[in-house]
Amino acid sequence: MLQHLAKKVTQQGCVTATQVPLAAWPWLVRHMVANRAGWVVVVAPEPALTASFTASMQALLPSHTVLEYPSWDVMPYDRLGPDAAIVAARQAVLAALSKPAHAGVIVTSLPALSVRCHPVQLASLELRPGLALPLSTLQQQLVALGYSRVEVVQRIGTFAVRGGLVDCWSPVQDHPVRLDFFDTELEQLRAFDPGSQQSLGLLDKVTIAPAGEQLTEARIATFRTRYRALFGQAMQVQQDELYSEVSAGVWPTDAGQLAPLLTEEPWPHLLAALPAEATLVLPADLSTQQASWYSLVEQAYQSRLDAAINNPGGRILRALPLPELVVAPEQMTGTLNSFAQLALTPFDAPQGIATGLLAQRVPTGNRHTALEAVVGQIQERLTAGWAVVLTALHTEGLKQFLRALEHAGLTAPKLSNTLTFKVGLQACTAPFTAGWEDVAAKVCVLTEADVFGARLGGGKPKARARTAEEILATLSTLKEGDYVVHEAHGIGQYHGLVTLDVGGVRQDFIKVLYAGDDRLFVPVEQLGLVSRYKGAEAGTVALDRLGTGGWETRKAKVKADLLEMAEELLATAAARTLAERPPVGAVGGLYDEFCAGFPYELTADQARVVADVESDFAAGTPMDRLVVGDVGFGKTEVALRAAFLAAQAGRQVAIVCPTTLLARQHALVFTERFSAVGMGVGHLSRLVGPAEAKQTRAALASGALKVVLGTHALLGKELKFANLGLVIVDEEQRFGVAQKEKLKTMKGDVDVLTLSATPIPRTLQLAIGGVRQLSLIATPPVDRHAVQTHVLPWDTPTLQGALGRELGRGGQAYVVAPFVEDLPKLASTIKGFIPHARIAIAHGQMPETELERVMLAFYAHDIDILVATTIIESGLDVPRANTMIVTRADRFGLAQL
């Protein structure tokens, strides 16, 4: 059926295929490419699908060119321009189309097709080791290519200079590069990780492509002429700030949508650049999508016109005519109709293409029985001579997937490095987010997501090696005025590097200022004696005085306090070390099923910490482990797996949280994960009614309930456990002394797992000293995006576009104001230009119960936009909230921002 359909498309203008699930689109395109030459352009039903479609087709067509032509990350007529990486990706597609005798697959979306593309700019820098290039010249060239200078390179289109090192991230490079100069000679090129700043290896060459608009004299002259021709009657040239800035050779950050005025020729669009023999694969309802999309663009255009009229005294951003930025619907339709088309729809199934019978999530009831049913369907297809391919996004997930199926009776195959579709059973990592089956070809693809739910992870773990070089890296971030500690002389203030003549030899020293204007010069060879001070806030630090013994007295007092504390702590630790308990380990395949519920890939650090906890459980002595990791680095997943292992062994688990909001959030997460394997989770806090709380306490006393979460309610005398085996303390530093004393009595011979992003010194010292085990999660999530920050004047069209985009992709947003009295008016204003949004207000003057209700509603996605003060800084982890708008940023302190 697929082969017939692919051939039919080459003979007719438009063919419609029904009941083609999204997961099967890449498979269908694979058959089309095999049956014809020329470019195949796949228009995804939604812009969010282009990346996954591209990855799937690259896996299915490894010997073909597969390119993504992405849509802008901003709406036309926003005050900001598109990201440099997106511009570079779009230009790369146009460049590929310009090459003769070249073909492949292009994946795009309707918004990407509609918005015109930056013309391909040939200007770039080719850098190789041995090149002679003065640093000043390189900096000028980078600025001319649109790069911005920053302190640390973490985003595309930026560069940083530190002595003879230049860091730069080109839009055409996967990683930033570090250029190592000796005088004017480029000695080395190294790629590095933007998160850890650690080197990833040497490079032979690098291309520094344009990262912004290039303002040559000719392009400036073109801009001035076209700008005056379009807006001359509405502007006074001498008072138009934007016109003046561009005339002076400066491209403003808010002029992104006016870039077409830099060229005399209209910007190209993808369809116009396609060869006539290209084939389009698109959704059958594309015309309906097109009308809706163009209507949004027209609204944005009108908003920009209104903003220019209603803000005559402020900075004005003119509205470029629609045809300059966007392809008109009638022109788009005419161009589409000039190509052979395959229109796809999910309705009215024909023979040959169908959603796989296996593509159904295993229910949460008797999971083992459901898995046995899936195994039975796999074996039926294998007996009938099918090719069955089992896939997951990464190797660890695939191993868990296979172990779960093997536990249900499947003889699992060995992992394969390449994706094939030969008769039989195969297991291979692949970027498929859902499975499908081709009845005619007898091919079935079953993904981990089909069984365990949607998977969100991908890529490979990014390990971060910690070396002694980090001492130098830390000191290199010191600024004059920062507090430092010298091992022998105490707390002082860093005052930079100086060069002194000592005995006729010039040496470099660190200058440290102490009390009484005392000064200490530390040779750079003794950098190991100096470290950054991480105590109280600046301004409250008492500097030591050199030569008075004050530092030694302070150290002696601390040592005495530690010794006094250590006696009790060591006695407790010794008792726990001598205590014995049965080893705890995973039983059967249920642990793998539970782990598969984690929708991401474990980072290298997470995997190591999980292994540490599993090893602790397998030992015959109680665990007392501290897990330290930044917010969002995955400590909760470690706690989930530890809790499951204990509960599976018949032991009870108590998870103690410092606040009711955090307890409720954890209760939702734990309940979702544990219910998938048939286990219940209890919750005790002020948010739980008396009847439910009484029932939970009774279940804990009888042993019927294995897992409970709560606040200090778990520390009450009336709460009894039948078989408490594990205590998990989240954010231990936020508990009071009395509460911690109660936690000590809870410990006994049970396992203890403490989670903290900022452990108190005593807790950390116990871990470093070996009294408690210590595990660090220093690796951020895989493919975590850097935060993009833009400073702009109030601009309604830009706010409307930013909030509309976030809500359009199912996300949420924060809008933060400095004063409580600003919130109602701000919420009303936002409601005016986004009337469909669900908006709520939150601030510290609200009753506590009402504030909790609002925050929990925001967490549950019952609220789209939360208009709040800085009270949200200690709120919930809301994964859907990826946009924050801070109004009157000048009224906030730097630490708050």
- Predicted confidence (pLDDT) at residue 353 exceeds the cutoff of 70: no
- Predicted confidence (pLDDT) at residue 816 exceeds the cutoff of 90: yes
- Predicted confidence (pLDDT) at residue 760 exceeds the cutoff of 80: no
pLDDT band at 177 (very low <50, low <70, confident <90, very high): very high
Q: Dihedral through CA 23, CA 27, CA 29, CA 30, nearest 10?
A: 150
Contacts of 554-563 spanning 24+ positions with Cβ under 8 A: 554/490, 562/765
- Predicted confidence (pLDDT) at residue 569 exceeds the cutoff of 60: no
- Predicted confidence (pLDDT) at residue 7 exceeds the cutoff of 70: no
Residues 6 or more apart whose CB falls under 8 angstroms from that of 152 comprise 160, 167, 197
pLDDT score, position 351 = 42
> How many Cβ atoms sit within 10 Å of the Cβ of residue 249?
11
pLDDT score, position 146 = 80
Q: Tell me the average pLDDT across 509-518.
A: 86
Q: Count of alpha carbons within 13 Å of 415, Cβ hemisphere only?
A: 16
pLDDT band at 826 (very low <50, low <70, confident <90, very high): very high
Q: Cα separation of 435 and 449, whole Å?
A: 8
DSSP 8-state assignment for residue 629: E
- Digit-coded pLDDT (tens) for 213-265: 777 888 889 988 988 888 876 666 556 788 888 888 888 877 878 888 888 88
- Predicted confidence (pLDDT) at residue 629 exceeds the cutoff of 70: yes
pLDDT score, position 485 = 86
Q: Tell me the average pLDDT across 328-348.
A: 82
- Predicted confidence (pLDDT) at residue 865 exceeds the cutoff of 90: yes
Q: Cα separation of 713 and 42, whole Å?
A: 56
Strand order of the β-sheet with 865-868 is 839-842, 865-868, 812-816, 881-886
Measure Cα distances from 567 to 430, 573, 623 in Å. Answer: 55, 10, 20
Q: Cα separation of 96 and 494, whole Å?
A: 53
Tell me the H-state helices in 341-440.
367-383, 395-407
Residue 569 contacts residue 380 (beta carbons within 8 Å): no
- Digit-coded pLDDT (tens) for 29-42: 888 887 777 889 99
Q: Cα separation of 851 and 858, whole Å?
A: 11
pLDDT score, position 354 = 40
Three-state secondary-structure class, residue 393: coil
Cα 733 to the center of its chain, rounded Å: 27
Paired with 182 in beta bridges are 185
Residue 629 contacts residue 605 (beta carbons within 8 Å): yes
pLDDT score, position 363 = 44
- Predicted confidence (pLDDT) at residue 360 exceeds the cutoff of 50: no
For 41, the enclosing helix (H) or strand (E) is strand 40-44
pLDDT band at 771 (very low <50, low <70, confident <90, very high): low
Tell me the H-state helices in 579-649.
590-596, 604-618, 635-648
pLDDT band at 732 (very low <50, low <70, confident <90, very high): low
- Digit-coded pLDDT (tens) for 59-118: 998 888 899 999 988 888 887 778 888 888 888 888 888 877 678 899 999 999 999 888
Three-state secondary-structure class, residue 821: helix
pLDDT band at 840 (very low <50, low <70, confident <90, very high): very high
Q: Give the rounded percent of residues in the chain with a pLDDT score beyond 70.
A: 83
* Mean pLDDT rounded to a whole number for the chain: 80
- Predicted confidence (pLDDT) at residue 462 exceeds the cutoff of 50: no
Measure Cα distances from 757 to 305, 764, 875 in Å. Answer: 48, 11, 15
Q: Cα separation of 129 and 189, whole Å?
A: 7
Q: Cα separation of 817 and 891, whole Å?
A: 9
- Digit-coded pLDDT (tens) for 416-447: 888 888 899 999 999 888 888 888 888 899 98
- Predicted confidence (pLDDT) at residue 776 exceeds the cutoff of 80: yes
